[in-house]
């Protein structure tokens, strides 16, 4: 087996006395679509925050493409190609929808004062290219009609889609999606899922996503990681996990649909 | 002729408004665009003015070179202020900036050998030897006067406003670039910006330094306009004037700053002419305080009825 793109080892993160993540370990394979599931409060979002550098780990380690990232600042992790969305979308409401996506472009020479002053033509050319790509992505999530509107006018579901477009704009290698379909209208949610499958197939992108809708999890993911009370209690293929007793217990007897 | 109709008086108001435009533009970059609560902005003005004056008087430096050094030193001051503090929470940063400007003012008051002390730059060359740093400025202004066939006040008015409007245009252009977009994103939500790979700290530092340069340029004009100055000219009140201007005009836009500065200047100067009852019952010092009360009332009224400022966008204000 090749080295995993993400290796989480014995990660611990507490809030006061609460052990939100309590020694969680798992791998995400290169090119996979991996689901992270677990009941409310299991520590999924906290784990995302640790992996993406928004919270420090109090123990354990995180490796991305073979390199430790558990001490790296969040922006550097993102630049390396590990980009995340938030459970509550972080829409920049007073920027236009288009600007939200443009902002996400990586390596933009126009974002540096030196690049702007010394090589303005290059910065402009890059901005044109970025604009083109941003419009494509907005079309993909059906927000192109709103490109010039303030992002603050978007609904909750549309904001999730905007976050998704933004993440893709960064040209990531590993994408962490925290409940990407929550609040998204089912038709668009389905399309989003198809985009994920397609991006994996064409671009070799890897996805790790948190999702409560088990039907979606079973359908879309290659592997499932189950968390409960800060620990990983099971992992494997969707079929393996579905029949795992500990998983059924953690979900209080709610048998996942087939 | 009464003062209210005097051209000299109003051109003075115009010059001060131009200087305030440059000064407040720094706050607009730092707060209006990058969300930094800098309550010590006046420090940059002081660094610019004092560096220029000291280098001219004590080192016989060319005044323009000295002015350049003043701006550079203020920018360095921005870096030194920002490095340890910009990672702090916004409110702690705000407190540190006031401390920064007040510490510099006390140092300037007490280090009389460097700064001339509390009596100001007049003592820069030693007590009793009236020091002047603006000979070169006077001759420059003289050539503007004769070149344009205008009086001294008008020449100053033209020079100040040319520089101020160039700065406004420069900031406006900068904010339309991808660099400006990143600044605004940080103002909106630093975590979102960081999650997309933006180095929030580096951008905040840059905004602080750009604002510091604008503050220092304002300080230079302040020095040239008033021919001599002292540490007390750089009291925190001046920083708050800049904030009032930015709030009056509207946040997050470059061109609202000159509008805010003019409105502020007119209210400030206009209260001098409240010589009718009941104001005529007040003596002149009391009337001087009255202007602050009027400005305070205008701001309160604005917050109630136009919280976005005179020209700010209401729609931006209500978005969540
Ligand atoms: N910043 C915080 N401060 C204190 N407690 C926190 C903080 N963030 C999370 N917690 C707590 O940590 C635990 C794990 O929360 P987390 O958000 O990671 O769960 P989750 O698995 O994402 O749940 P959900 O499915 O509801 O999103 C919860 O008990 C939560 O209340
Ligand atoms: Mg969560």
Q: What is the ipTM of this complex?
A: 0.91
Closest in B178, B189, B193 to A110, CB measured = B178
pLDDT at residue number B90: 84
Residue A47 CA, closest ligand 1 atom number: 18
- The pTM is what? 0.91
pLDDT bracket for residue B1 (50, 70, 90): very low
Q: What is the pLDDT of residue B119?
A: 86
Residue B140 has pLDDT above 90, yes or no: yes
The 3-state DSSP class for residue A150 equals strand
Task: Tell me the residues surrounding ligand 2 (ion) with CB < 5 Å.
Answer: A 44-45, 87
Number of residues that this document lists for chain A = 258
> For atom 18 of ligand 1, which residue has the closest CA?
A43
- Amino acid A163: pLDDT: 94
Q: Which residues line ligand 1 (CB under 6 A)?
A: A 15, 18, 20, 38, 40-46, 87
pLDDT tier at A52 (50, 70, 90 boundaries)? very high
Pull the structure tokens for residue A152: 């603050």
Model confidence at A64: pLDDT above 70: yes
Instruction: Say yes or no for a CB contact (<8 Å) between B319 and A93.
Output: yes
Instruction: Identify the pLDDT of residue A187.
Output: 84
pLDDT at A255 over 60: no
The answer to whether residue B276 scores a pLDDT higher than 80 is no
Give the residue among B215, B211, B228, B233 at the shortest CA–CA distance from B45: B215
Residue A42 parent element (H or E): none
Return the ∠ at Cα A38 (arms to A34 and A44), rounded to 5°. 70
Helix (H, G, I), strand (E, B) or coil at A206: strand
Residues of A in contact with B209 (CB under 8 A): none
> What is the residue extent of each domain of chain B?
11-234
Nearest CA in chain A to B206: A113
Residue B308's pLDDT band, with cuts at 50, 70 and 90, is confident
> How far is the C-alpha of B181 from the C-alpha of A116, rounded, in Å?
13
Residue intervals of chain A classified under CATH 3.40.50.300 are 6-88+172-252
Q: Cβ A83–B189 below 8 Å, yes or no?
A: no
Ligand closest to A41 (CA) is: 1
Kind and range of the H or E run holding A46: helix A44-51
Percent of chain B residues past pLDDT 70, beyond the cut: 93
Whether pLDDT at A204 is above 70: yes
pLDDT of residue B318: 64
CATH number of A6-88+172-252: 3.40.50.300
Distance CA A79, CA A74 (A): 9
Q: Is A157 helix (H, G, I), strand (E, B) or coil?
A: helix
Residue B189 confidence (pLDDT) above 90 = yes
User: Does the structure show a pLDDT above 90 at B33?
Assistant: yes
Cα separation, A135 vs B140, in Å, equals 52
Per the CB < 8 Å rule, is A127 touching B198?
A: no
- Rounded to a whole number of angstroms, the distance from the CA of A225 to the nearest CA of chain B is 23
CA closest to A108 among chain B residues? B178
Locate A229 and state its tokens: 């009370």
Q: How far is CA A132 from the centre of its chain?
A: 23
Residue B198, chain A, CB below 8 Å: the answer is yes
pLDDT in tens, A15-27: 988 999 998 899 9
What is the atom index within ligand 1 of the atom nearest the CA of A179?
27
Confidence (pLDDT) at B87:
87
- Could B177 and A84 be called an inter-chain contact, meaning their C-beta atoms sit closer than 8 Å? no
Q: How far apart are CA A150 and CA A145, in angstroms?
A: 12
Inter-chain contact A93–B320, Cβ cutoff 8 Å?
yes
């Amino acid at each position: 087996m090749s080295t995993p793109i993400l290796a989480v080892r014995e990660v611990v993160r507490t809030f006061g006395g609460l052990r939100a993540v309590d020694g969680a370990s798992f791998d995400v394979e290169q090119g996979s679509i991996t689901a992270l599931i677990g009941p409310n409060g299991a520590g999924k979002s906290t784990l995302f925050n640790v992996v993406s550098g928004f919270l420090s780990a109090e123990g354990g380690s995180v490796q991305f493409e073979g390199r430790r990232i558990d001490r790296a600042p969040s922006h550097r992790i993102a630049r390396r190609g590990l980009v995340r969305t938030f459970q509550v979308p972080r829409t920049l409401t007073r920027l236009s929808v288009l600007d939200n996506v443009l902002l996400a472009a990586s390596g933009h020479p126009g974002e540096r004062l030196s690049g702007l002053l010394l090589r303005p033509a290059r910065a402009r050319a890059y901005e044109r290219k970025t604009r083109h790509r941003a419009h494509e992505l907005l079309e993909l999530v059906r927000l192109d009609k709103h490109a010039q509107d303030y992002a603050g006018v978007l609904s909750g579901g549309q904001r999730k889609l905007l976050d998704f477009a933004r993440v893709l704009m960064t040209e990531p290698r590993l994408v962490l999606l925290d409940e990407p379909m929550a609040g998204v209208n089912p038709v668009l949610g389905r399309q989003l899922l198809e985009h994920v499958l397609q991006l994996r197939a064409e671009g070799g992108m890897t996805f790790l996503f948190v999702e409560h809708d088990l039907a979606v999890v079973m359908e879309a993911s290659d592997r499932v990681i189950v968390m409960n009370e800060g620990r990983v209690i099971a992992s494997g293929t969707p079929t393996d996990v579905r029949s795992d007793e500990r998983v059924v217990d953690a979900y209080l007897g709610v048998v996942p649909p087939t | 002729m009464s003062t209210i109709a005097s051209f000299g008086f109003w051109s003075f108001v115009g010059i001060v408004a131009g200087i305030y435009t440059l000064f407040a533009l720094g706050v607009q970059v730092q707060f209006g665009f990058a969300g930094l609560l800098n309550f010590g902005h006046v420090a940059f003005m002081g660094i610019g003015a004092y560096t220029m004056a000291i280098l001219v008087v004590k080192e016989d430096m060319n005044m323009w070179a000295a002015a350049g050094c003043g701006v550079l030193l203020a920018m360095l001051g921005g870096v030194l202020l920002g490095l340890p503090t910009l990672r702090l929470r916004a409110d702690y940063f705000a407190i540190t900036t006031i401390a920064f400007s007040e510490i510099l003012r006390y140092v300037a008051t007490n280090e009389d050998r460097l700064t001339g002390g509390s009596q100001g730059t007049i003592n820069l060359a030693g007590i009793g030897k009236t020091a002047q740093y603006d000979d070169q400025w006077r001759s420059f202004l003289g050539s503007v006067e004769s070149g344009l066939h205008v009086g001294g006040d008008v020449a100053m008015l033209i020079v100040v406003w040319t520089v101020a409007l160039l700065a406004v245009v420069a900031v406006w252009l900068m904010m339309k670039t991808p660099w400006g977009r990143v600044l605004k994103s940080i103002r909106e939500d630093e975590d979102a910006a960081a999650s997309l790979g933006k180095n929030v700290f580096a951008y905040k530092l840059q905004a602080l330094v750009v604002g510091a340069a604008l503050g220092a340029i304002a300080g230079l004009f302040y020095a040239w306009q008033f021919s001599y100055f002292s540490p007390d000219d750089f009291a925190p009140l001046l920083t708050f004037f800049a904030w009032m201007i930015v709030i009056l005009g509207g946040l997050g836009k470059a061109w609202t700053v000159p509008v805010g500065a003019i409105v502020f200047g007119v209210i400030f100067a206009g209260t001098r002419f409240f010589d009718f009852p009941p104001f005529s019952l007040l003596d002149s010092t009391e009337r001087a305080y009255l202007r602050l009360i009027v400005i305070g009332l205008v701001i309160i009224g604005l917050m109630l009825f136009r919280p976005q400022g005179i020209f700010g966008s209401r729609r931006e204000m209500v978005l969540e």
